[in-house]
Amino acid sequence: MSFSTDHCSPKRSLKRLCQALPLLALILAVPAHAAPQGKVDCIAPAQPGGGWDFTCRSVARALQDLSMIPAAMQTINVPGASGGVAFSHVQAKRASDDDLIVAASTATTTQLALGNYPGGRADQVRWVATLGADYGVIAVAKDSPYQSLTQLLDALKADAGSVTFSGGDVAGGFDHIKVLMAARKAGVKPIRDIKYLAFDSGSVAISQLLGGHIDAFTGDISEAKSFVDSGDLRILAVFSDERLPGQFADIPTAKEQGIDVVAPNWRGFYTPAGASEESYAWWKKTLNGLYDTPQWQQIMTQNGLLPFHKSGDELNQFVARQISDIQEIGAELGMTH
């Protein structure tokens, strides 16, 4: 911002104002609030332990160790309603708080899409950045007749009830929904006839598959890895934009098999929608910077997270698309509220 003072004359009564204009311009050009001025809070919408708590605590530790944040960052656990209690708390109590971020994941967008946060909408918060993901997969036992995702979906197109899936998530959860998303893209009808059995964990669901009771497994790649390593499980597809790095490079994506579905269980953050633009920009820049550090890449590797990084407008667009896809599935199954 700049002001011209050429028209001002010392002989006029506006002399002092004219002299002050350059200083005023400088003040206005500086963001009112960029970096936090003191301690900040990270809300983990669950009890200690688990993904959201890990997201807050590991990021807080890394930011502090790398001196990327002015002061301490504390984790506040606000459990309940699969993240709904924390979401409502932010709207009611901290809707314009610049010194707050909230841990989020695909579970957050799934609950919003299905209307499980009463009165909750995705535009009531601003999605800042993701810092990795655990990608969804569809897998079968080593002796399964299905050699590709295409073969399995062709069987579903012929008879939607011919393949039974197992997962470590409740019916209507994201493990279930990503199968339905793939089936919908393939033209399977009616998708409500697809059989899904929920178990207490991914490992239990895989054990049921290996015992011959189930036809296919839907879950995350971290759940399947040890069974793939032992040779008991074959992954037909991973729901990532591109092939994953390293040891997962031989696994074909669903996209390259003609099914345009990307289903990461991403981990990241949102901020209150009423927080300042300067604060949002600072959080975005800081979390982007953290993602690029060797320290964070090591944390990802140690905790089974794979590359998935979106921020700002790109993340907000991704979230909108993910919610729209899940809403369409939920509407077909009568799951939305």
pLDDT in tens, 253-295: 999 999 999 999 999 999 999 999 999 999 999 999 999 999 9
Which residue segment(s) compose the domain that 199 sits in? 135-257
What's the pLDDT at 25? 41
DSSP per-residue codes, 237-301: EE-SSSPPSGGGTTSPBSGGGT-----EEEEEEEEETTS-HHHHHHHHHHHHHHHTSHHHHHHHH
Q: Which of 257, 277, 301 is the last residue of a domain?
A: 257
Task: Report yes or no on 89 lying in a domain.
Answer: yes
Task: Report yes or no on 162 lying in a domain.
Answer: yes
* Helix (H) or strand (E) segment spanning residue 196: strand 195-198
User: What number is the average pLDDT over the span 215-236?
Assistant: 94
- CATH number for the domain that contains residue 284: 3.40.190.150
**DSSP-derived 3-state class of residue 15:** helix
Q: Which of 257, 285, 308 is the last residue of a domain?
A: 257
Residues 89 and 161 placed together within one structural domain of the fold? no
Task: Report yes or no on 211 lying in a domain.
Answer: yes
**pTM, entire model:** 0.78
Query: Which one-letter DSSP state was computed for residue 129?
Result: E
- Give tens-digit pLDDT for 199-217: 888 889 999 999 999 999 9
- CB count in 10 Å sphere of residue 140: 22
Task: Report yes or no on 184 lying in a domain.
Answer: yes
- Give me the number of domains the chain comprises: 2
Residues 139 and 127 placed together within one structural domain of the fold? no
**How far, in Å, CA of 109 to CA of 97, rounded?**
21
Residues 233 and 149 placed together within one structural domain of the fold? yes
Residue 1 has pLDDT above 80, yes or no: no
Integer Rg of the chain from CA: 24
Residues 86 and 149 placed together within one structural domain of the fold? no
Q: Which of 225, 257, 289 is the last residue of a domain?
A: 257
